[in-house]
A and B are shown apart, each in its own frame.
Chain A
Amino acid sequence: MKRWHRYALGLSLGLATGGALAWHATGTGFRQGSVHNGVWSTSLGYGTKSGDALTRAAVARRGLLALPQTETVYWAASTDSQGAPLDGSCTYRLSGRAIDSRWWSVTLYDAEGYLMANKANIWSFSSASLGKGDGPDWRVTISPDAPDGGHWLPSVRGKSFELTLRMYNPGAAFRANMAGAPLPVLVKEACA
C-alpha cells in the first residue's frame, strides 16, 4: 500500500467515525441532560449561548426552538422507574401533585420526537386538564386503550415512546433545586 493510500484511509475512517459518533450522540442528547430527577432529565444549556456544541446540535435535532430554562424547563423521559424503555403496549401510571410553574404539560412523542396519531386525538395532559374533582393529587393513565375512568394519555400499541414535561415560567424555589424538586412519578403497571 502506498503512503498516500494509508493517509487517505486514515483520514476517511477518522472523518466517518467522528461524524457517525456525533450524529449518534445528537440522537440521544436529551437523555444525557446534566440534571436528573427520577425518570426525568434536562439540560441547563438548551437555547443558550453557553450550550456546548453537542447540546446545541441535539436540541436542533430533537427539540429545535426550545426556550432557555429561565423561561421553560423541558424534562424528557424515555424509561420507566425501573429503567425499561417506554413501551406503547404497556400501561403506565403517571401521578403527582401541583408542579411549581405557571403552567405545565406532559406530551407523548414517538422515538423521533413527533406526535403519534390516536383515535382520541389526545397528545398531552396539562395543568389545564385538571378538574375540581382532582384535588391536590392527580393521576393519568398512559395506555393504548382508554381506562375505565380518570385521565388518559393514549400511547400506540407496538410503538416505543418518550414523554416531555414542559414547565412554563418555573418557580424560583423549583429552579433552586431542580434535581430534588417533586416531579410526576411514572410507574409501569402492566403490559399486554
Chain B
Amino acid sequence: MKTWLGPVAAALLAGVAGWYGVLALSTFGLMEAAIQRVSQDYGMNTMRYGTLPTPTNQPIVRPSPDLAYSTCPYDLAKGPVLVSVTPVPGRYTSLSVFDARTDVAFVRNDLQAGGKPFDVVLAREGQAVPAGKEVVRLGYDRGIALIRLLLNAPGEIEALDTIRRQSTCRSLGG
C-alpha cells in the first residue's frame, strides 16, 4: 500500500495542475481563436463592421441579435493602436477593450461620452503615445476592441451604417 502513497499524492497535485491548466488554456485559447476569426478577412488593427448576428453569422458565442458589432482585433507588438469612436445619436453605443485574458480594460458608452466622438490609444507599458490622447495601458499585445450599437429593429442598420463606419482603428506603429 505504501508504494502507492507517492503516486496518489502526485495524482492529486497533477489534478490541481490539470484543473488550472485547462482553465488558463480555455481563457487564452478561446480569446485567441476569437481574434483569429474576426481578423481573418481584414487583418489586425482594422475595424470590421459586422452584420447583425443570425444563426448563420455568429463569430462569437452568445451574440445579441439586437446589436451591430464592430470589432477591432488589435496587436500592439509594433506600436500603440488608436481607436476612434463616433456614437450614433440616440442609440446605445459603447466601446469595450478586452485583453488576451478576456479582462475588460476599458468601457465607455455614449452617455458617458456626452454623445460626442472620442479617441482612445491602446498601448503596452513603456510605449510612447501621442500627447493629449487618453491612453489605456494593456498587459498583453493582443486583444479585441469592440463597439456595440443597439438597434430597435434589424432594418435600422442600413440607415445607421454610414455613421457607425466613422468609428475606426489603426496602428500608430511604424
A positions within 8 Å CB-CB of B: 3, 6-7, 9-23, 26, 47-49, 51, 53-54, 56-57, 59-65, 67-68, 70-71, 102-103, 105, 107, 109, 112-117, 121, 123-124, 126, 128, 164, 166, 168-169
Contact = CB atoms under 8 A, between A and B. Distances in A.
Contacts of B96: 47, 65, 67, 71
B83 interface: no
Interface string B2-46: 011011111111111111111110110011001000000000000
B22 A22 contact: yes
Contacts of A19: 18-19, 21-22
A107 B27 contact: no
Contacts of A164: 62
B37 to A, nearest CB: 11
6 closest residue pairs by CB, A with B:
A18-B18, A14-B14, A10-B7, A14-B11, A18-B15, A10-B11
Contacts of A57: 22-24, 26-27
Interface residues of B, number: 54
Given A19-B19, A22-B23, A128-B152, 4 more contacts: A7-B6, A14-B15, A18-B20, A48-B104
B118 interface: no
Residue from the set A64, A65, A107 with the largest chain B CB neighbour count within 10 Å: A65
B60 A65 contact: yes
A62 B62 contact: yes
A115 B63 contact: yes
B61 interface: yes
A115 B54 contact: yes
Contacts of B152: 128
B120 to A, nearest CB: 16
